[in-house]
Structure 1
Amino acid sequence: MPPKADINKAGWEQSDFPILCETCLGDNAFVRMSKQEYGRSCGTCARPFTVFRWNPGTGMRYKTTVICQTCAKIKNVCQTCLLDLEYGLPTQVRDTALAVENDAPTSEINREYYAQNMESRLEGSKSLLDSNRASSAGKEMLKQLARTDPYYKRNRAHLCSFYAKGECNRGSDCPYRHEMPVNNELSKQNIPDRYHGRNDPVAHKIMSTHASTLGLAPPEDKSITSLFLSSLPSMATEDSIRTRVVQSLPSVPPSQIKSIVHVAKSRCAFVNFKDRETAETAAHAWANGFEIGEETATVKWGRSKGGSNGKPKPVASSSEFAVSYAL
């Protein structure tokens, strides 16, 4: 009598080929892969999955899959580098442009249950993401930042730890790179943050550079936490602006929006946030414009309320204050 199947293995993954981007697959046309069923736990849902390992090319390091295919399909990312398969960008950049809210549990509680339930929704579809629903400003942002060509430099060998200590005696025969490690924010990454698109230093650098290119570099005055919207639709109201702001910033709690000052006569508005970090997140999301209705408003950082001598500027009226505050 055959042994009874383990009920806990019902949700474990078995696959014949990994979900990879062109960069991770490498430029070797005759790549050979090793396959190990239930080789390790998924880096996000912790379920055992089929692990693949291969060498993407000459002089490159061996690569391996780090998340299961279910998690890869949910986010439409590569199983190895966790970058978006369509745009080649970190999930935080893509989700910011698409205004996608992360509904997956990020703690150990219920994450395996969530992954099992998502498998039934994934039947017959490659991914649950729909990039077509993005706003035209979001699509333009992804179009400008997308990496369409493979970046094989990402497959280079790891740094030699013995060289960093001054103890490597293998010289040119060493399979690792003889370079000193750089300790910065980009070297502090982890799988859950990269996958869920939160606190990703690579994504933050990409969005900051993009915003600066479009004239939205954060001002040096850290007290400035406001963004100025101009060229709003004539039918816009404070409530409609607030609703659109909340929709376009799914990762920002509505409580982080301190106030919205709308000047209908000038077709402009101030969006005041409670802290600088939230304001920068909004600036990154609205770098290509703030879409409301069928129009795209121009976005700029506000200016300091104090004058050149450190004293507050005089205020004549709310309309004059709103315009002079930003221009």
Structure 2
Amino acid sequence: MATSKSTNTYNRQNWEDADFPILCQTCLGDNPYIRMTKEKYGKECKICSRPFTVFRWCPGARMRFKKTEICQTCSKLKNVCQTCLLDLEYGLPIQVRDAALKVQDDLPRNEVNKEYYIQNLESQLSNSDPTQPTNSLKSKGSSDLLVRLARTAPYYKRNRPHVCSFWVKGECRRGEECPYRHEKPTDPDDPLADQNIKDRYYGVNDPVAEKLMRRAAAMPALPPPEDKTVTTLYVGNLPDNVTEDELRGHFYQYGEIRCLTLVPRAQCAFVQYTSRNAAEHAAEKTFNRLVIFGKRLTIKWGKSQGRQGLTEKNDGVPMLEPVPGLPGTLPPPPAYLHPFPPQMPPPPNRPNDFFNLHHYGGPGWGPWGPPGMAPPPPPAPLPAPLRLHYPSQDPARLGAHAHTNAPQI
């Protein structure tokens, strides 16, 4: 009786043989010198069930060993990493990426149809130009959701070892030499504890993707201020090597810039637009989306021009901030420092005195003005100034003591 043979037995020539895996930077690790083992036809792909070359390596110190899970054909079909199955460009699950780009998955689920589809796809990839992008997803463009959720730096925490099961039971005797984590395990009721590699690849029922979608829905917005005169944006978290020309190149596309001030010491900048519409357009397009040199910039609105005017004098000189702990205003000066006592108004303005016209006022004019005008009452005598005494003025405290044996001069 003849035994049935699988399709892989007849199509062994289509098994995958690769020289290097398709990995993301997070799975590859931060160590530029790693030792990687290669096993030809080591395992079956968890998507298409075809044997492929398995790579195994350690991404860094105190990290767990990782290996490839799917073949390179399935990886190129979805543009994902062979190990974590996250998008190579954004570092996001396939479900989030397809929802943002509105991509429909047409990969067949049946084993026979799936193998036939993948074989035809692999033949197309082998006949195509290797310099051209093989994935149609790269030509879909981008979206605001992907830019806001995309990772700008590797997340090496994902490579940590698994939780030690012996430590959970209280039986681990290795101590610090244990290669596994001694931490509290994930709650079994947590949706993130139940992850399936096929669900992630096909983009259905992925708990990580659902968590990211909820995070995107709850992201804060940047409402414009009520003061219409505010046209300045604050840009924070700048890289150290960023220049003013690079910032101007990013923000000039939203409108005409009046001035751009770069503060390298504080790692921030202020961008002032000529119009309010340009500032609102720039704030909408760059909030939680602008990434320069791998760092996501912080975008906020500048201060109100009206509030700044309250803290300035009429001549434009800014006023000093009050010192904490001191009174806000100084006490009034003493009465004797006034040019005129409070009870006595200053003398009226007499043009005759100023221009010396009492000599030419004609007959009958007195020294104080027209005839019959009495002289003003004499001013009240000013009080004697108070004598201030300081302890340092005491001769006894300055070391002047009487000595009986001092020589007589």
Equivalent position of 2:296 in the other structure: none
Residues 107 and 181 (structure 1 numbering): CA distance in 2 closer, same or farther, change over 3 Å? farther
Correspondence list, 1:51-200, <5 A: 51-122=54-125, 123-124=128-129, 125-134=132-141, 139-182=143-186, 183=188, 184-200=190-206
Question: Where does the alignment leave 5 or more consecutive residues of structure 1 unmatched?
Answer: 1-5, 216-287, 289-327
Equivalent position of 2:22 in the other structure: 19
Equivalent position of 1:310 in the other structure: none
Whole-Å separation in 1 of the counterparts to 2:50 and 2:194:
25
Equivalent position of 2:276 in the other structure: none
Correspondence list, 1:170-319, <5 A: 170-182=174-186, 183=188, 184-213=190-219
Equivalent position of 1:260 in the other structure: none
Q: Identity, % of aligned pairs?
A: 59
Whole-Å separation in 2 of the counterparts to 1:15 and 1:46:
16
C-alpha displacement of 1:214? 5.7
C-alpha displacement of 1:130? 2.9
- The higher relative CO (CA closer than 8 Å, separation ≥ 6) is in 1
2:84 maps to amino acid: C
Whole-Å separation in 1 of the counterparts to 2:174 and 2:160:
18
Equivalent position of 2:5 in the other structure: none
1:171 maps to amino acid: G
C-alpha displacement of 1:107? 4.1
Please, which moves more after superposition, 124-133 or 169-178? 124-133
Whole-Å separation in 1 of the counterparts to 2:117 and 2:220:
39
Correspondence list, 1:41-52, <5 A: 41-52=44-55
1:198 maps to amino acid: V
User: 2:38 is paired with a residue of what secondary structure?
Assistant: strand
1:152 maps to amino acid: Y
Whole-Å separation in 2 of the counterparts to 1:154 and 1:23:
8
Whole-Å separation in 1 of the counterparts to 2:198 and 2:133:
21
1:180 maps to amino acid: K
Please, which moves more after superposition, 164-173 or 78-87? 164-173
Whole-Å separation in 1 of the counterparts to 2:193 and 2:108:
25
Quote the RMSD (CA, aligned, Å). Answer: 2.0
2:198 maps to amino acid: P
Whole-Å separation in 1 of the counterparts to 2:27 and 2:89:
14
1:171-221 deviation digits (Å, cap 9, x = unpaired): 111100011211211111111111111110000000111012268xxxxxx
C-alpha displacement of 1:126? 4.1
Give the conservation status (yes or no) of the 8 Å contact 1:32–1:54. Answer: yes
C-alpha displacement of 1:47? 0.5
Question: Where does the alignment leave 5 or more consecutive residues of structure 2 unmatched?
Answer: 1-8, 222-288, 290-409
C-alpha displacement of 1:37? 0.7
Equivalent position of 1:259 in the other structure: none
Provide TM-score, normalisation by structure 1: 0.61
Whole-Å separation in 2 of the counterparts to 1:204 and 1:109:
31
User: 1:213 is paired with a residue of what secondary structure?
Assistant: coil
Give the conservation status (yes or no) of the 8 Å contact 1:76–1:127. Answer: no
C-alpha displacement of 1:133? 3.0
Please, which moves more after superposition, 140-149 or 60-69? 140-149
Whole-Å separation in 1 of the counterparts to 2:192 and 2:112:
29
User: 1:102 is paired with a residue of what secondary structure?
Assistant: coil
1:210 maps to amino acid: A
1:102 maps to amino acid: D
Equivalent position of 2:375 in the other structure: none
